[in-house]
Amino acid sequence: MTWSRLRAKLAPYWLVLPAWLWLVIFFVVPTLVMLSVSTMTGNLLDGFKQTWHWSTYSHGWSLYHVQFVRSIVYGLIATALCLVIAYPVAYWIAFRGGRHKSSLLFLLLLPFFVSFVIRTQSWGFILSDHGLALNWARDLHVLGLLKDVHLVSSSGSILQTPVAVVGGLVYNFLPFTVLPIYVALERVDPALLEASSDLYANKASAFSKVVLPLSMPGVFAAVLLTFVPVASDYVNATILGGTKTTMIGNIIQTEYFTNSDYPTAAALSFILMAALLIGVFAYARALGTEDVLEMAAR
């Protein structure tokens, strides 16, 4: 083989090499290291030794299964809410945006130029017991109503309740839901809609039989990109949450930094990752999407 042909054959590998190396060294290997740490025993003073102590996993689960389940539940609720909020907005911009599509999208994404820690703290400020939200509720005399539907706790607070945490999660991850759905809707050929109306479909069935199925890959991507970060978040729970809203992310962070219990922390991280991956693949199966990887890798 000539030198230049060899070079051409190897070209893809040379191009891939630096990034691939970086990812292997700083992503793949650390994940394996974390796996090995999860079976170590020891403490900060005496050091940690590999002892193949797999019971750390069951111990971690028995201690914290409540937080795990809670995180998944919050994740599902927040994702569902995100979908409900995001789909109409994406539809509105894609089909009714007209000339202003890009401006509307831009307006939608604008708030996310600000650091999400600041945004979440702002919510903490707005939702405090004597803050803007509750003052308005009092002025509009709807506070009792809100308490009845449990949006506000019986002591008159929104902060430190699950409502605040889930609200924060929905707020912070909404763009992750809107954008994939928008991209999918945008690709729907308007000719198809015209064809369906020529065939006497009304608006509702045009939507349910044409638009919705075509947007499913986008919905799948949206669910993936929303559910995973939401279930593993801990910042919202720290800033907006209280004693009964602790998520598994908080526990992992505490185990790493306050308790220096690295094996338990590593084990919990693995359980979380496994749960999320299984959930994602199960969902992909259910949807029947072949191009799970393709759609999700966008």
Tell me which residues in 91-110 interact with another protein (CB under 8 A): 91-93, 95-99, 101-102, 104-110
Residue 44, CA atoms < 13 Å, CB-side half-sphere: 7
> If binding is defined by CB under 8 A, does position 89 make contact with another protein?
yes
Two tokens, residue 217 = 């890959």
The separation between the first and the last C-alpha atoms of the chain, rounded to the nearest angstrom, is 37
User: Least distance from C-beta 80 to another protein, angstroms?
Assistant: 16
Contacting another protein (CB under 8 A), which of 1, 52, 198, 243?
Answer: 243
> If binding is defined by CB under 8 A, does position 220 make contact with another protein?
no
User: Considering only 54-62, 167-175, 207-215, 282-290, which stretch makes contact with another protein by CB under 8 A?
Assistant: 167-175
Contacting another protein (CB under 8 A), which of 57, 68, 74, 123?
Answer: 123
> If binding is defined by CB under 8 A, does position 80 make contact with another protein?
no
Contacting another protein (CB under 8 A), which of 1, 19, 149, 286?
Answer: 19
User: Least distance from C-beta 285 to another protein, angstroms?
Assistant: 16
Residue 48 CA to chain centroid, in angstroms? 33
User: Considering only 32-40, 137-145, 208-216, 282-290, which stretch makes contact with another protein by CB under 8 A?
Assistant: 32-40
> If binding is defined by CB under 8 A, does position 51 make contact with another protein?
no
> If binding is defined by CB under 8 A, does position 187 make contact with another protein?
yes
Residue 7 CB neighbour total at 10 angstroms: 11
User: Considering only 138-146, 208-216, 233-241, 282-290, which stretch makes contact with another protein by CB under 8 A?
Assistant: 233-241
> If binding is defined by CB under 8 A, does position 118 make contact with another protein?
yes
- d(Cα 60, Cα 64) in Å, to the nearest integer? 6
Helix-strand-coil split of the chain, %, nearest 5: 75, 5, 20
Taking CA 198 as the corner, what is the angle to CA 196 and CA 202, rounded to the nearest 5 degrees?
60
Contacting another protein (CB under 8 A), which of 262, 264, 279, 284?
Answer: 262
Contacting another protein (CB under 8 A), which of 57, 68, 74, 234?
Answer: 234
Taking CA 168 as the corner, what is the angle to CA 166 and CA 172, rounded to the nearest 5 degrees?
120
Residue-level length of the chain: 298
Residue 71: name the closest of 251, 253, 219 by CA.
251
Contacting another protein (CB under 8 A), which of 81, 269, 279, 284?
Answer: 269
Residue 222: name the closest of 185, 249, 193 by CA.
185
Is residue 193 helix, strand or coil? Answer: helix
Contacting another protein (CB under 8 A), which of 130, 139, 200, 286?
Answer: 130
Contacting another protein (CB under 8 A), which of 72, 211, 223, 231?
Answer: 231
> If binding is defined by CB under 8 A, does position 116 make contact with another protein?
yes
* β strands within 143-232, DSSP E: none
- d(Cα 289, Cα 187) in Å, to the nearest integer? 17
Residue 179 CB neighbour total at 10 angstroms: 20
Contacting another protein (CB under 8 A), which of 5, 49, 155, 200?
Answer: 155
User: Considering only 54-62, 137-145, 209-217, 251-259, which stretch makes contact with another protein by CB under 8 A?
Assistant: 251-259
Instruction: State phi, psi for 199 to the nearest 5 degrees.
Output: -90, 20
> If binding is defined by CB under 8 A, does position 252 make contact with another protein?
yes
> If binding is defined by CB under 8 A, does position 20 make contact with another protein?
yes
